[in-house]
Structure 1
Protein backbone atom coordinates (compact mmCIF):
# COMPACT_ATOMS: atom_id res chain seq x y z
CA UNK A 1 0.00 0.00 0.00
CA UNK A 2 1.09 3.57 -0.63
CA UNK A 3 2.86 4.96 2.46
CA UNK A 4 0.52 7.95 2.56
CA UNK A 5 -2.60 5.80 2.53
CA UNK A 6 -1.06 3.47 5.10
CA UNK A 7 -0.40 6.46 7.37
CA UNK A 8 -4.01 7.62 7.06
CA UNK A 9 -5.33 4.15 7.76
CA UNK A 10 -3.22 4.04 10.91
CA UNK A 11 -4.41 7.47 12.04
CA UNK A 12 -8.05 6.76 11.32
CA UNK A 13 -8.32 9.78 9.00
CA UNK A 14 -8.80 7.77 5.83
CA UNK A 15 -10.60 4.48 5.27
CA UNK A 16 -8.79 2.15 2.89
CA UNK A 17 -10.96 0.81 0.05
CA UNK A 18 -9.61 -2.72 -0.57
CA UNK A 19 -9.41 -3.22 -4.34
CA UNK A 20 -6.77 -5.17 -6.31
CA UNK A 21 -4.35 -3.11 -8.42
CA UNK A 22 -5.45 0.07 -6.65
CA UNK A 23 -4.66 2.35 -3.73
CA UNK A 24 -7.81 4.17 -2.68
CA UNK A 25 -8.68 5.93 0.55
CA UNK A 26 -11.88 7.64 1.66
CA UNK A 27 -12.58 10.25 4.36
CA UNK A 28 -16.32 10.66 4.76
CA UNK A 29 -16.02 13.66 7.08
CA UNK A 30 -13.09 15.55 5.58
CA UNK A 31 -15.19 18.71 6.02
CA UNK A 32 -18.10 19.21 8.40
CA UNK A 33 -21.57 19.72 6.96
CA UNK A 34 -21.38 23.43 7.70
CA UNK A 35 -17.96 23.83 6.09
CA UNK A 36 -19.04 21.89 3.00
CA UNK A 37 -22.20 24.00 2.63
CA UNK A 38 -20.19 27.22 2.86
CA UNK A 39 -17.69 26.10 0.22
CA UNK A 40 -20.53 24.83 -1.97
CA UNK A 41 -22.28 28.21 -2.00
CA UNK A 42 -19.01 30.08 -2.51
CA UNK A 43 -17.83 27.95 -5.42
CA UNK A 44 -21.23 27.94 -7.10
CA UNK A 45 -21.12 31.73 -7.28
CA UNK A 46 -17.39 32.39 -7.83
CA UNK A 47 -16.35 29.70 -10.31
CA UNK A 48 -16.03 30.48 -14.03
CA UNK A 49 -18.28 27.58 -15.08
CA UNK A 50 -18.39 26.61 -18.76
CA UNK A 51 -20.33 24.14 -20.88
CA UNK A 52 -17.88 22.38 -23.23
CA UNK A 53 -17.88 19.90 -26.09
CA UNK A 54 -15.69 16.79 -26.08
CA UNK A 55 -14.77 14.15 -28.66
CA UNK A 56 -16.24 10.69 -28.02
CA UNK A 57 -15.58 7.99 -30.63
CA UNK A 58 -14.86 10.67 -33.21
CA UNK A 59 -18.04 12.66 -32.58
CA UNK A 60 -18.59 15.90 -30.69
CA UNK A 61 -20.91 15.87 -27.69
CA UNK A 62 -21.82 18.43 -25.06
CA UNK A 63 -20.51 17.40 -21.67
CA UNK A 64 -23.46 16.61 -19.38
CA UNK A 65 -22.09 18.90 -16.65
CA UNK A 66 -20.28 22.23 -16.28
CA UNK A 67 -16.51 22.44 -15.76
CA UNK A 68 -13.76 24.87 -14.80
CA UNK A 69 -9.96 24.56 -14.63
CA UNK A 70 -7.78 26.37 -12.07
CA UNK A 71 -4.09 26.09 -11.30
CA UNK A 72 -0.57 27.45 -11.20
CA UNK A 73 0.77 29.40 -14.16
CA UNK A 74 1.61 27.04 -17.00
CA UNK A 75 -0.02 25.25 -19.89
CA UNK A 76 -3.73 24.52 -20.19
CA UNK A 77 -5.14 21.04 -19.63
CA UNK A 78 -6.48 18.85 -22.45
CA UNK A 79 -8.59 15.67 -22.60
CA UNK A 80 -11.00 14.11 -25.11
CA UNK A 81 -10.17 16.76 -27.70
CA UNK A 82 -10.96 19.59 -25.28
CA UNK A 83 -8.45 22.17 -24.03
CA UNK A 84 -9.51 23.93 -20.84
CA UNK A 85 -8.60 27.54 -20.16
CA UNK A 86 -6.63 27.94 -16.94
CA UNK A 87 -7.84 30.38 -14.30
CA UNK A 88 -5.71 31.57 -11.35
CA UNK A 89 -6.42 30.15 -7.92
CA UNK A 90 -9.15 31.78 -5.86
CA UNK A 91 -8.82 32.14 -2.07
CA UNK A 92 -11.44 29.41 -1.49
CA UNK A 93 -9.69 26.96 -3.83
CA UNK A 94 -6.33 27.66 -2.19
CA UNK A 95 -7.85 26.92 1.23
CA UNK A 96 -9.22 23.58 0.05
CA UNK A 97 -5.94 22.77 -1.74
CA UNK A 98 -4.00 23.46 1.46
CA UNK A 99 -6.29 21.14 3.46
CA UNK A 100 -6.02 18.36 0.85
CA UNK A 101 -2.23 18.65 0.70
CA UNK A 102 -1.98 18.58 4.50
CA UNK A 103 -3.88 15.30 4.80
CA UNK A 104 -2.47 13.63 1.67
CA UNK A 105 1.18 14.66 1.90
CA UNK A 106 1.15 15.46 -1.83
CA UNK A 107 1.53 18.76 -3.69
CA UNK A 108 -1.09 19.66 -6.29
CA UNK A 109 -0.72 22.40 -8.88
CA UNK A 110 -4.16 22.27 -10.49
CA UNK A 111 -7.80 21.36 -9.97
CA UNK A 112 -10.65 20.40 -12.29
CA UNK A 113 -14.07 21.41 -11.00
CA UNK A 114 -17.24 19.68 -12.18
CA UNK A 115 -20.73 20.97 -11.48
CA UNK A 116 -23.48 18.36 -11.61
CA UNK A 117 -26.56 20.57 -11.83
CA UNK A 118 -29.17 17.87 -11.28
CA UNK A 119 -29.88 14.16 -11.79
CA UNK A 120 -29.33 14.47 -15.56
CA UNK A 121 -25.67 15.44 -15.25
CA UNK A 122 -23.06 12.70 -15.21
CA UNK A 123 -19.60 11.56 -16.29
CA UNK A 124 -19.00 8.39 -18.29
CA UNK A 125 -16.49 5.64 -17.71
CA UNK A 126 -12.91 6.95 -17.88
CA UNK A 127 -9.57 7.05 -16.07
CA UNK A 128 -7.48 10.09 -15.18
CA UNK A 129 -4.53 8.70 -17.12
CA UNK A 130 -3.39 11.54 -19.38
CA UNK A 131 0.36 11.45 -20.05
CA UNK A 132 1.00 14.76 -18.28
CA UNK A 133 -0.30 13.27 -15.02
CA UNK A 134 2.50 10.66 -14.91
CA UNK A 135 2.42 6.88 -14.60
CA UNK A 136 0.96 6.70 -11.07
CA UNK A 137 -0.91 9.95 -10.50
CA UNK A 138 -2.35 10.94 -7.14
CA UNK A 139 -5.88 12.31 -7.59
CA UNK A 140 -7.63 13.92 -4.62
CA UNK A 141 -11.38 14.31 -5.10
CA UNK A 142 -13.46 16.54 -2.81
CA UNK A 143 -17.28 16.39 -3.01
CA UNK A 144 -19.68 19.18 -2.01
CA UNK A 145 -23.47 19.23 -2.13
CA UNK A 146 -25.67 16.34 -3.26
CA UNK A 147 -24.46 12.81 -2.52
CA UNK A 148 -23.79 10.93 -5.76
CA UNK A 149 -22.74 7.34 -6.49
CA UNK A 150 -19.13 6.93 -7.63
CA UNK A 151 -18.57 3.67 -9.53
CA UNK A 152 -15.32 1.81 -10.18
CA UNK A 153 -14.65 -1.07 -12.60
CA UNK A 154 -11.46 -2.96 -13.42
CA UNK A 155 -10.19 -2.65 -16.99
CA UNK A 156 -8.85 -6.21 -17.35
CA UNK A 157 -10.78 -8.30 -14.84
CA UNK A 158 -14.48 -8.38 -15.79
CA UNK A 159 -15.04 -11.04 -13.14
CA UNK A 160 -14.63 -8.33 -10.49
CA UNK A 161 -17.88 -6.66 -9.53
CA UNK A 162 -18.36 -2.93 -10.03
CA UNK A 163 -17.64 -1.11 -6.78
CA UNK A 164 -19.82 1.81 -5.66
CA UNK A 165 -18.95 4.53 -3.14
CA UNK A 166 -21.42 7.12 -1.92
CA UNK A 167 -19.61 10.46 -2.14
CA UNK A 168 -21.32 12.61 0.46
CA UNK A 169 -20.89 16.34 0.92
CA UNK A 170 -17.57 17.11 2.61
CA UNK A 171 -15.94 13.80 1.68
CA UNK A 172 -12.48 13.21 0.25
CA UNK A 173 -11.55 10.34 -2.08
CA UNK A 174 -7.85 9.76 -2.70
CA UNK A 175 -6.75 7.58 -5.63
CA UNK A 176 -3.05 6.74 -5.94
CA UNK A 177 -0.59 4.11 -7.13
CA UNK A 178 -1.74 2.08 -10.14
CA UNK A 179 -5.44 2.94 -9.71
CA UNK A 180 -5.73 4.97 -12.93
CA UNK A 181 -3.92 2.29 -14.96
CA UNK A 182 -6.22 -0.53 -13.91
CA UNK A 183 -9.52 1.07 -12.95
CA UNK A 184 -12.09 3.32 -14.59
CA UNK A 185 -14.67 5.39 -12.74
CA UNK A 186 -18.00 7.05 -13.52
CA UNK A 187 -20.93 8.97 -12.03
CA UNK A 188 -24.18 7.90 -13.70
CA UNK A 189 -27.36 9.86 -14.25
CA UNK A 190 -29.99 9.32 -11.56
CA UNK A 191 -33.69 8.57 -11.79
CA UNK A 192 -34.56 10.51 -8.65
CA UNK A 193 -34.38 14.33 -8.41
CA UNK A 194 -30.93 15.51 -7.35
CA UNK A 195 -29.66 18.83 -6.00
CA UNK A 196 -26.42 20.36 -7.39
CA UNK A 197 -23.08 18.77 -6.61
CA UNK A 198 -19.57 20.17 -7.04
CA UNK A 199 -16.62 17.82 -7.41
CA UNK A 200 -13.03 19.09 -7.20
CA UNK A 201 -10.28 16.78 -8.48
CA UNK A 202 -6.85 18.00 -7.47
CA UNK A 203 -3.88 16.76 -9.50
CA UNK A 204 -0.25 17.50 -10.35
CA UNK A 205 0.58 18.29 -13.97
CA UNK A 206 4.18 17.36 -14.78
CA UNK A 207 6.37 20.15 -16.10
CA UNK A 208 4.54 22.99 -14.43
Structure 2
Protein backbone atom coordinates (compact mmCIF):
# COMPACT_ATOMS: atom_id res chain seq x y z
CA UNK A 1 0.00 0.00 0.00
CA UNK A 2 2.65 2.50 1.03
CA UNK A 3 5.57 1.80 -1.29
CA UNK A 4 6.79 4.75 -3.27
CA UNK A 5 7.40 4.47 -6.98
CA UNK A 6 11.05 3.86 -7.76
CA UNK A 7 11.64 7.60 -7.93
CA UNK A 8 9.54 10.72 -7.56
CA UNK A 9 10.18 12.04 -11.07
CA UNK A 10 9.86 15.65 -12.27
CA UNK A 11 6.79 16.30 -14.39
CA UNK A 12 5.31 18.69 -16.93
CA UNK A 13 4.05 21.70 -14.98
CA UNK A 14 3.96 25.47 -15.26
CA UNK A 15 7.39 27.04 -14.80
CA UNK A 16 7.93 26.97 -11.06
CA UNK A 17 10.04 29.50 -9.13
CA UNK A 18 13.59 28.62 -8.06
CA UNK A 19 13.61 26.16 -5.17
CA UNK A 20 10.32 24.44 -6.14
CA UNK A 21 10.23 21.10 -7.98
CA UNK A 22 7.02 19.26 -8.87
CA UNK A 23 7.08 15.45 -8.73
CA UNK A 24 3.84 14.03 -10.15
CA UNK A 25 4.24 10.28 -9.66
CA UNK A 26 5.40 9.46 -6.14
CA UNK A 27 2.55 7.06 -5.44
CA UNK A 28 0.06 5.49 -7.82
CA UNK A 29 -3.57 6.64 -7.70
CA UNK A 30 -4.67 3.45 -5.94
CA UNK A 31 -1.84 3.39 -3.40
CA UNK A 32 -2.23 7.07 -2.57
CA UNK A 33 -5.95 6.70 -1.85
CA UNK A 34 -5.32 3.57 0.21
CA UNK A 35 -2.75 5.48 2.26
CA UNK A 36 -5.18 8.39 2.68
CA UNK A 37 -7.83 6.04 4.07
CA UNK A 38 -5.36 4.36 6.40
CA UNK A 39 -3.95 7.61 7.82
CA UNK A 40 -7.37 9.23 8.22
CA UNK A 41 -8.45 6.39 10.50
CA UNK A 42 -5.20 5.65 12.34
CA UNK A 43 -3.35 8.89 13.20
CA UNK A 44 -3.87 10.81 16.44
CA UNK A 45 -5.44 13.90 14.89
CA UNK A 46 -5.47 17.19 16.79
CA UNK A 47 -6.97 20.65 16.18
CA UNK A 48 -5.01 23.15 18.27
CA UNK A 49 -5.98 26.79 18.66
CA UNK A 50 -3.68 29.61 17.60
CA UNK A 51 -3.75 33.37 18.06
CA UNK A 52 -3.27 35.54 14.97
CA UNK A 53 -3.77 39.29 14.87
CA UNK A 54 -5.28 39.15 18.36
CA UNK A 55 -7.87 36.51 17.48
CA UNK A 56 -7.78 33.01 18.97
CA UNK A 57 -9.46 30.18 17.09
CA UNK A 58 -8.99 26.50 16.15
CA UNK A 59 -6.91 25.97 13.03
CA UNK A 60 -9.09 25.21 9.96
CA UNK A 61 -7.81 21.67 9.51
CA UNK A 62 -6.67 18.68 11.58
CA UNK A 63 -3.02 17.87 12.10
CA UNK A 64 -0.60 15.34 13.52
CA UNK A 65 3.10 15.94 14.20
CA UNK A 66 5.30 12.86 13.84
CA UNK A 67 8.96 13.10 14.82
CA UNK A 68 11.95 11.52 16.49
CA UNK A 69 11.80 11.66 20.30
CA UNK A 70 14.42 14.41 20.54
CA UNK A 71 12.59 16.79 18.18
CA UNK A 72 10.63 19.77 19.44
CA UNK A 73 8.80 22.05 17.00
CA UNK A 74 6.01 24.61 16.89
CA UNK A 75 4.67 27.59 14.99
CA UNK A 76 2.56 30.68 15.75
CA UNK A 77 3.36 30.27 19.44
CA UNK A 78 2.03 26.69 19.57
CA UNK A 79 4.30 23.77 20.52
CA UNK A 80 3.26 20.61 18.70
CA UNK A 81 2.86 17.28 20.50
CA UNK A 82 5.08 14.52 19.09
CA UNK A 83 3.74 11.22 17.82
CA UNK A 84 6.15 8.37 17.08
CA UNK A 85 6.63 7.22 13.48
CA UNK A 86 4.13 4.62 12.22
CA UNK A 87 5.86 1.89 10.22
CA UNK A 88 4.36 2.95 6.90
CA UNK A 89 5.60 6.54 7.27
CA UNK A 90 8.96 5.51 8.70
CA UNK A 91 9.57 3.41 5.58
CA UNK A 92 8.54 6.34 3.38
CA UNK A 93 10.92 8.65 5.25
CA UNK A 94 13.84 6.24 4.68
CA UNK A 95 13.07 6.04 0.97
CA UNK A 96 12.83 9.83 0.56
CA UNK A 97 16.01 10.39 2.57
CA UNK A 98 17.89 8.08 0.21
CA UNK A 99 16.43 9.68 -2.90
CA UNK A 100 17.04 13.29 -1.92
CA UNK A 101 20.21 12.75 0.13
CA UNK A 102 18.64 14.49 3.10
CA UNK A 103 17.92 13.18 6.60
CA UNK A 104 14.32 13.99 7.53
CA UNK A 105 13.53 13.73 11.25
CA UNK A 106 10.00 15.16 11.41
CA UNK A 107 6.71 15.07 9.54
CA UNK A 108 3.81 17.49 9.83
CA UNK A 109 0.59 15.93 8.55
CA UNK A 110 -2.39 18.14 7.74
CA UNK A 111 -5.87 16.78 7.01
CA UNK A 112 -8.07 19.12 5.01
CA UNK A 113 -11.43 17.42 5.51
CA UNK A 114 -13.07 19.23 2.59
CA UNK A 115 -12.72 22.45 0.63
CA UNK A 116 -13.65 24.57 3.65
CA UNK A 117 -10.43 23.59 5.43
CA UNK A 118 -7.43 25.66 4.43
CA UNK A 119 -3.95 27.03 5.15
CA UNK A 120 -3.19 30.75 4.97
CA UNK A 121 -0.17 32.45 3.44
CA UNK A 122 3.06 31.55 5.23
CA UNK A 123 6.68 30.48 4.82
CA UNK A 124 8.24 27.52 6.60
CA UNK A 125 11.02 29.71 7.94
CA UNK A 126 11.07 28.94 11.65
CA UNK A 127 14.59 29.01 13.10
CA UNK A 128 14.38 25.30 14.01
CA UNK A 129 14.19 24.40 10.30
CA UNK A 130 17.57 25.94 9.48
CA UNK A 131 18.70 28.62 7.06
CA UNK A 132 17.68 26.92 3.81
CA UNK A 133 15.32 24.08 4.76
CA UNK A 134 14.57 21.10 2.55
CA UNK A 135 10.89 20.19 2.74
CA UNK A 136 9.16 17.44 0.80
CA UNK A 137 5.37 17.59 0.53
CA UNK A 138 3.15 14.74 -0.67
CA UNK A 139 -0.58 15.00 -1.45
CA UNK A 140 -3.14 12.25 -0.81
CA UNK A 141 -6.82 12.43 -1.72
CA UNK A 142 -8.66 15.30 -3.38
CA UNK A 143 -6.81 17.62 -5.76
CA UNK A 144 -6.30 21.05 -4.18
CA UNK A 145 -4.80 24.25 -5.55
CA UNK A 146 -1.42 25.09 -4.01
CA UNK A 147 -0.54 28.79 -4.29
CA UNK A 148 2.98 30.26 -4.39
CA UNK A 149 3.52 34.02 -4.00
CA UNK A 150 6.72 36.08 -4.26
CA UNK A 151 7.16 38.15 -1.12
CA UNK A 152 8.30 41.29 -2.93
CA UNK A 153 6.49 41.34 -6.29
CA UNK A 154 3.34 39.53 -5.03
CA UNK A 155 3.35 37.54 -8.29
CA UNK A 156 1.26 34.41 -7.65
CA UNK A 157 1.24 30.95 -9.25
CA UNK A 158 -1.39 28.24 -8.81
CA UNK A 159 -0.30 24.59 -8.90
CA UNK A 160 -3.00 21.87 -8.66
CA UNK A 161 -1.66 18.96 -6.59
CA UNK A 162 -3.40 15.64 -7.34
CA UNK A 163 -3.22 12.54 -5.21
CA UNK A 164 0.18 10.82 -5.21
CA UNK A 165 2.06 13.94 -6.30
CA UNK A 166 4.94 15.59 -4.50
CA UNK A 167 6.52 19.01 -4.21
CA UNK A 168 10.13 19.53 -3.16
CA UNK A 169 11.04 22.93 -1.66
CA UNK A 170 14.72 23.79 -1.23
CA UNK A 171 17.22 26.65 -1.33
CA UNK A 172 15.72 30.13 -0.92
CA UNK A 173 12.14 28.96 -1.43
CA UNK A 174 11.14 29.95 2.13
CA UNK A 175 13.10 33.23 2.05
CA UNK A 176 11.63 34.59 -1.17
CA UNK A 177 8.16 33.03 -1.33
CA UNK A 178 5.06 32.28 0.68
CA UNK A 179 2.62 29.47 -0.02
CA UNK A 180 -1.00 28.72 0.86
CA UNK A 181 -3.84 26.27 0.37
CA UNK A 182 -6.99 28.42 0.00
CA UNK A 183 -10.56 27.30 0.48
CA UNK A 184 -12.28 25.64 -2.49
CA UNK A 185 -15.99 25.47 -1.85
CA UNK A 186 -16.63 22.94 -4.64
CA UNK A 187 -14.22 20.38 -3.16
CA UNK A 188 -16.22 17.96 -1.04
CA UNK A 189 -13.58 15.27 -0.48
CA UNK A 190 -10.63 15.31 1.90
CA UNK A 191 -6.92 15.79 1.29
CA UNK A 192 -4.04 14.72 3.53
CA UNK A 193 -0.72 16.49 3.09
CA UNK A 194 2.54 15.00 4.35
CA UNK A 195 5.40 17.48 4.80
CA UNK A 196 8.72 15.84 5.64
CA UNK A 197 11.24 18.23 7.20
CA UNK A 198 14.35 18.43 9.35
CA UNK A 199 14.12 20.16 12.70
CA UNK A 200 17.42 21.17 14.31
CA distance in 2, matches of 1:149, 1:65: 16
Query: Is 2:173 aligned against 1:179?
Result: yes
Query: Is 2:37 aligned against 1:41?
Result: yes
Residue in 1 that maps onto 2:61: 65
Question: Quick check: 1:141–1:174 contact (8 Å CA) kept in 2?
Answer: yes
CA distance in 2, matches of 1:102, 1:26: 18
Tell me which moved more, 49-58 or 137-146. Answer: 49-58
- TM-score normalised by L of structure 1: 0.88
CA distance in 1, matches of 2:109, 2:131: 22
Residue in 2 that maps onto 1:82: 78
- Structure 1, unpaired ranges of 5+: 1-10
Query: Is 2:24 aligned against 1:28?
Result: yes
C-alpha deviations, 1:76-111, integer Å up to 9, x for none?
311011111001101011122123223322110000
Query: Is 2:198 aligned against 1:204?
Result: yes
Residue in 2 that maps onto 1:105: 101
Of residues 1, 10, 17 in structure 2, which corresponds to 1:14? 10
CA distance in 1, matches of 2:68, 2:129: 15
CA distance in 2, matches of 1:196, 1:128: 23
C-alpha deviations, 1:137-157, integer Å up to 9, x for none?
001001100010000000012
Tell me which moved more, 39-48 or 11-20. Answer: 11-20
CA distance in 2, matches of 1:167, 1:103: 21
Question: Quick check: 2:71–2:106 contact (8 Å CA) kept in 1?
Answer: no
User: Structure 2 matches for 1:129-208, cutoff 5 A?
Assistant: 129-158=125-154, 160=155, 162-206=156-200
Secondary structure at 2:92 match in 1: helix
CA distance in 2, matches of 1:58, 1:12: 41
- TM-score normalised by L of structure 2: 0.91
CA distance in 2, matches of 1:43, 1:12: 21
Question: Quick check: 1:133–1:203 contact (8 Å CA) kept in 2?
Answer: yes
How many residues get paired?
A: 193
Residue in 2 that maps onto 1:91: 87
CA distance in 2, matches of 1:26, 1:175: 9
